Structure 1
Amino acid sequence: MSITPIPDQTLGPAIETAEIDWQDGQPVSRAFGDVYFSRENGLEETRYVFLGHNRIEQRFAALEEGASFVVAETGFGTGLNFLATWRAWEHHAPPDARLHFVSVERYPLTPADLEQALTLWPELAPLAEALIAQYPALVTGTHRLVFDSGRVRLTLYFGEARDAWSNLRFSADAWYLDGFAPALNPDLWLEQLIGQIATRSRPGATVATFTAVGAVRRALLAAGFSMRKVPGFGRKREMLAGEFNAPASVVPRQNHSPVTIVGAGIAAALTARNLAERGRDVHIFSAGDEPADGASGNAQAALYVKLGVDYGPETQLALHALLHAQRTYQRYDPDNTRFWHRTGLLQLAGSEREADRQRRFLERNRYPGNVLQSVNVTDAQRLSGSPVQSGGLWFPDSGWLEPPHLCQWLLEHPRIQCHYGHKVEQVRHDGRQWQLAFTNSEAQSSNIVILTGGHQVANLLPDGQNYRFRAIRGQVSQLPAEAITGTDAVICGDSYLNPIHGEYAVTGATFDLDTTNPELLTSSHQENIDRLSTWLPGIWSQVPPPAAEALPGRVSFRCTTHDYQPVAGAAGATDEPRGLYVLTGLGSKGFALAPLLAEWLADVICGEPESLEPVISDRLSLARCRRSTDDR
């Protein structure tokens, strides 16, 4: 076996993991010399210290229908506090309420250590299994995990606590100040960190911690918390509990208005489903007769990103979007039978230029092996089931999708109403609401509108064509199964090739900058054949390859921006009418980017903890795409 896992320490996005000693079946941190939970009964300690002194069960039971509640924690550890809170949520919260649990971990457990630790609590086994199944790859930054059909969300930040509370946008209703004892882990208890916790707290937010150390109590008092000492758990004499004394503020009522979405492709379908699972009614308006009739409508789509040699915000977005997409599609189709096919994906180093890029990429970065692996030609052939002629990067959790089936399934939700054959001609604000004007039907009004129609979004924005969007024609070709040797995984070179599905395998797509022709072109089919023959010459089972003029295929137009980064978020400035949002510019990576961007956009619209850090979300603004006077 000659696959080389990339070491998951030090460079690039990989994060250093916890070193665990197991003493009498209990996990102990080797770095801090401290236990993760009470040796007497860790679950009961969690329920006494954190749930009990934050009045979690009573507050869950008192929530209004459709409300959300945010718990924040300073040390994720084994996930025991999260699972105990989730269990209390199941038993006490209204069925349509939503739990957000925000946690940070500087030294995350490996999946094997996490699984071993959670076997100690059989009563939490079903929830533990769900956590283990979605436990994120061990890379720095923010990971969003979604459970129980969207009723429970975990925002897990791998990195320093100070960075987490600076980078994450949320307001907590309750705090679990967990982690190791202050004397053993002093960085976790700095006054600066306590101050950051105060800025992330709602008025009246509660706090509990197992420690009673005077320095911690004084720091919390200085930050605005009223604190008291109470009896500790088990043999521990005292602990601290308190409440945030910020001045009462006028908290706007939660906006439960229906949401209108223009478009029915993958961005629209994922956003609609996300909002519907949060209890929002959604209306889809699409000019077509069915979902995914635009750029999202190819028979097969590869789940693929190209990670940059240098790890910056663009690569961070691509990586976390890919990981979130893998979790999302697996959650929606766990058996890989409806629309998601987790076959793995091979990114070939098939040219000198690409081989050099991958070499530099590997020198400058470290990724866990469950994200990607460097493979030689022998293992590339074995993993892909194809006669490739070079090694490359293997993405074991990627694969391919059936987009029309995926979009149709996403929109089959009782809170989603689809209105096909409705071409939106104009979107304007009348001083009260947004008005949608259609070609052949009555206008519709809405407080919240999301535009997802690719490059056509520019036609509907209040200032029209003053944005740097571009439509790029792409034609895919469907290769007959008998014409190729087949492949077990997605293979990416100068183009891509999906595994055979039914009678065909999809390859392509062309990248046509200077034509708007929507018709299938024989020349584009020939281009796809020639490119595939160049980088994967052994794929043909017959010579010559199939005639270009006989191939079926499909043409669509992908929307890109001037900087090839997506657009997501509010459309207007702060002094302009609110409630108009945009999600577009996903280019050829829509199926990788859309799940995370839809998640974040739903966070923003619902006023819930955000799944993107500002260093990323601020780069997605529509304003950056506005043309300057010189460009017009």
Structure 2
Amino acid sequence: MSRLPPRPDLSWKEDGTPVAGRVGDVYFSRHNGLEETRTVFLQGCGLPGRWKGQPSFTIGELGFGTGLNFLAAWQLWRETRLPGQWLHFVSFEGYPLDRADAARALSAWPELGDLSSKLAEAWPERAYGVQRMVQAEDGVTLTLHTGEISETLPQASMLADAWFLDGFSPAKNDGMWAETLWPLVRERCREGAVLSTFTVAGSVRRGLAAAGFEVEKRPGFGRKRERLEVRIANQQARQPDPYALRPFETRAGKVRIVGAGIAGACATRTLLDRGLEVEVIDAATGPAEAASGNPLGLVMPRLDAGDTVQARLLIDAYLAARRFYAGRPGVTETGVAQRPKDEREAERIAKILADPPLGLENLEALSGGGQLHKQALIIEPATLIPSLLEGANCRFGETIRMEGLQDETPTILATGYSITSLLDWLQVEGRLGQVESCRIEVDSPAFALAQGDYCIALGETRLWGATFEPWTGGEIAVNDAAQDANMAALERLDPYWRQMAQQAEIVSRAGVRATTPDRLPLIGRAPDPDEAMKVFDGVRHGQPLKDDAPLAGPLLIAGGFGSRGFTWGPWAGEILAGLLLSEPAPATISALQAVSPMRQILRRLKRGG
């Protein structure tokens, strides 16, 4: 199986209607497709009436296709939305269209105005996983799960107010209408949710009824005499939440963030854009004075040869970072030439290129070995991070202790390694990282080289490194040994760059990065460790996880980012927004469990700790 999702084997009728060759069915009728969407799905789910007066509304959809249903919902939302309201549209697609084909298909509907071009501009990358588009000016998010529906739907963390069931014809695409899907859909419904679909196939009606839905035939559209409207017959019990993935019961209006590095800044910008009041507190005299404050940073993907939960979430986070940073000050797109540092890495890169998880617009082989990452980013933290904090109430020079966080204000701890002084049970390791930089009288286009270490060129600035040494406390200071190691690395990366650097004044900078034993970040709600050890004591003896995680009040964590803070930050911000505002998660359940702070306690218990 390829690590890239399959294309839909697209063809076009003479009138411009797109056809999926795999199932032999049209995506929509060119003559009435938009009106059918408005009748079957929007009116069928009681919209816009059902979202009036709601702070947010979530629509789930089976079958994203060209995005026509999403655009119709977005247009209606834009016309009827009140200030502060948010629409969340979550869709599932197994055979994603390319950007150009989607734009061609949607050109049939000029009445959608600028929305089609906005969607085309933000069209998701061809990759398995979860990608999110945010249109803050309209209060809209689109979250797309790409992969086989039997795999993606069980992994979706969401509760929908409405569902559009819009796979191709059940007779031609039975996988999207399988009876096993309907209990999964039902688990992802809020109380009072309404579902609608164009089909009245008996197998669909029976499957929905068996899953606990009330199914009613309604007048259809065009040549289809009937359609279905579906409602929940009775509310179901909540599933246990051992990893603390369930959102807050009460929607937050104000949030406190401790830490003004990249983790805190990304969370700040995300929550400000959602309309929340944000207070930022940092012990330093200004933003990004710790590990986030290097002259330049690099956002590039970490690609694994295997198709694991960790490999996919790394791609999700990288694509989220690219989307979040696009067009912001202090961000420059670049290519990164990555050469293997040894034979083992050469084999790994060769496996990746033989079956890549990203398309050729992102990745290609380098002559002589290695891979070129085409859409990586160079970050100027001194410019970017203050811009992300604009609009927040920032208080610098203040040290926070746990006793100062005992009120009801939701608080995000984004303090890097110093989080260990607040939550001493967390397994967080400090790594001392040193980089070198200089300015030379050669204005270079943006570019970067990577081979274990990395070097970055942007204008007259060069930066290279970085060391990653164990740190157990004490003074954070630069040292000659680290500079020698970085200079040796620069020689391996590019001898010419080293020669030029030796003729300039080199500036060293050191900082402590917080990392975890499994090298994955800590993102999510903070558990009460003592209570959690009691509640889940049976895990030591192999008992199943059947309880909710005890929580440490309204406390959340964004940390353990290691050397990839600029990559993890935007993805973490969206996860935290979902928890605080009861939004659909921008990640799979497996990914959320993999980064949940609660995982450390459960892992300790499973190992008999």
Regarding TM over 0.5, the answer is yes
Which residue is 1:553 aligned to?
Answer: 508
8 Å Cα contact 1:226/1:244 also seen in 2:
yes
CA offsets 1:498-537 (integer angstroms, 9 cap, x no match): 1133x42111122222575423334333322221012312
What amino acid maps onto 1:395 in structure 2?
A: H
What amino acid maps onto 1:481 in structure 2?
A: I
C-alpha distance in 2 between matches for 1:255 and 1:584: 23
Q: Is the counterpart of residue 301 in structure 1 residue 297 in structure 2?
A: yes
Which residue is 2:351 aligned to?
Answer: 360
8 Å Cα contact 1:311/1:365 also seen in 2:
no
C-alpha distance in 2 between matches for 1:164 and 1:628: 29
Shift of 1:279: 2.1
Unaligned 5+ runs, structure 2: 239-246, 529-548
What amino acid maps onto 1:476 in structure 2?
A: V
Which residue is 2:376 aligned to?
Answer: 398
The one of 398, 420, 438 equivalent to 1:479 is 438
What amino acid maps onto 1:295 in structure 2?
A: A
Shift of 1:288: 0.9
Shift of 1:73: 0.7
Q: Is the counterpart of residue 259 in structure 1 residue 255 in structure 2?
A: yes
8 Å Cα contact 2:34/2:68 also seen in 1:
yes
What's the secondary structure of 2:467's corresponding residue?
Answer: coil
What amino acid maps onto 1:521 in structure 2?
A: N
Which residue is 1:291 aligned to?
Answer: 287
Which residue is 2:389 aligned to?
Answer: 411
8 Å Cα contact 2:455/2:493 also seen in 1:
no
C-alpha distance in 2 between matches for 1:460 and 1:148: 33
Q: Is the counterpart of residue 589 in structure 1 residue 548 in structure 2?
A: no
What amino acid maps onto 2:107 in structure 1?
A: T
Q: Is the counterpart of residue 420 in structure 1 residue 406 in structure 2?
A: no
Shift of 1:324: 1.0
8 Å Cα contact 2:78/2:138 also seen in 1:
no
Matched pairs, number:
577
Shift of 1:342: 0.6
CA offsets 1:542-573 (integer angstroms, 9 cap, x no match): 5x9237xx422322111111121111111114
Shift of 1:296: 0.7
8 Å Cα contact 2:167/2:177 also seen in 1:
no
Shift of 1:357: 2.6
Cα pair distance change 1:118/1:576, threshold 3 Å: closer
8 Å Cα contact 2:526/2:552 also seen in 1:
no
What amino acid maps onto 1:314 in structure 2?
A: Q
Cα pair distance change 1:226/1:106, threshold 3 Å: same
C-alpha distance in 2 between matches for 1:358 and 1:314: 17
8 Å Cα contact 2:34/2:72 also seen in 1:
yes
Which residue is 1:84 aligned to?
Answer: 72
Deviates further, 339-348 or 353-362? 353-362
Shift of 1:351: 4.2
Deviates further, 445-454 or 317-326? 445-454
Alignment of 1:132-147 (within 5 A): 132-147=120-135
What's the secondary structure of 2:519's corresponding residue?
Answer: coil
CA offsets 1:108-129 (integer angstroms, 9 cap, x no match): 1122211111111112241122
C-alpha distance in 2 between matches for 1:253 and 1:469: 29
Which residue is 1:222 aligned to?
Answer: 210
CA offsets 1:571-606 (integer angstroms, 9 cap, x no match): 114334421111111000111111112111211121
Cα pair distance change 1:204/1:525, threshold 3 Å: same
Cα pair distance change 1:364/1:28, threshold 3 Å: closer
8 Å Cα contact 1:350/1:535 also seen in 2:
no
8 Å Cα contact 2:136/2:273 also seen in 1:
no
Which residue is 2:44 aligned to?
Answer: 53
What's the secondary structure of 1:578's corresponding residue?
Answer: strand
8 Å Cα contact 1:261/1:450 also seen in 2:
yes
Which residue is 1:457 aligned to?
Answer: 419
What's the secondary structure of 1:88's corresponding residue?
Answer: helix
8 Å Cα contact 1:204/1:246 also seen in 2:
no
8 Å Cα contact 2:301/2:314 also seen in 1:
yes
The one of 496, 505, 526 equivalent to 2:454 is 496
C-alpha distance in 1 between matches for 2:495 and 2:68: 52
Alignment of 1:560-575 (within 5 A): 560-573=515-528, 574-575=549-550
C-alpha distance in 2 between matches for 1:631 and 1:290: 43
C-alpha distance in 2 between matches for 1:598 and 1:211: 39
Which residue is 1:346 aligned to?
Answer: 337
8 Å Cα contact 1:489/1:499 also seen in 2:
yes
Alignment of 1:273-284 (within 5 A): 273-284=269-280
Cα pair distance change 1:150/1:167, threshold 3 Å: farther
CA offsets 1:178-232 (integer angstroms, 9 cap, x no match): 0111111112112111221112111211111111222222222222222222221
C-alpha distance in 2 between matches for 1:21 and 1:514: 59
C-alpha distance in 1 between matches for 2:22 and 2:352: 31
Cα pair distance change 1:289/1:252, threshold 3 Å: closer
The one of 161, 169, 173 equivalent to 1:185 is 173
What's the secondary structure of 1:56's corresponding residue?
Answer: coil
Which residue is 1:171 aligned to?
Answer: 159
TM-score by length of 2: 0.89
Cα pair distance change 1:628/1:310, threshold 3 Å: closer
8 Å Cα contact 1:257/1:448 also seen in 2:
no
What's the secondary structure of 2:204's corresponding residue?
Answer: helix
What's the secondary structure of 1:135's corresponding residue?
Answer: coil
What amino acid maps onto 2:397 in structure 1?
A: G
C-alpha distance in 1 between matches for 2:154 and 2:604: 33
Which residue is 2:546 aligned to?
Answer: none
What's the secondary structure of 1:115's corresponding residue?
Answer: helix
C-alpha distance in 2 between matches for 1:615 and 1:352: 32
Shift of 1:257: 4.0
Which residue is 1:152 aligned to?
Answer: 140
What amino acid maps onto 2:427 in structure 1?
A: R
CA offsets 1:465-487 (integer angstroms, 9 cap, x no match): x33211111111112324x7956
What amino acid maps onto 2:371 in structure 1?
A: L
Shift of 1:151: 1.5
Cα pair distance change 1:319/1:253, threshold 3 Å: closer
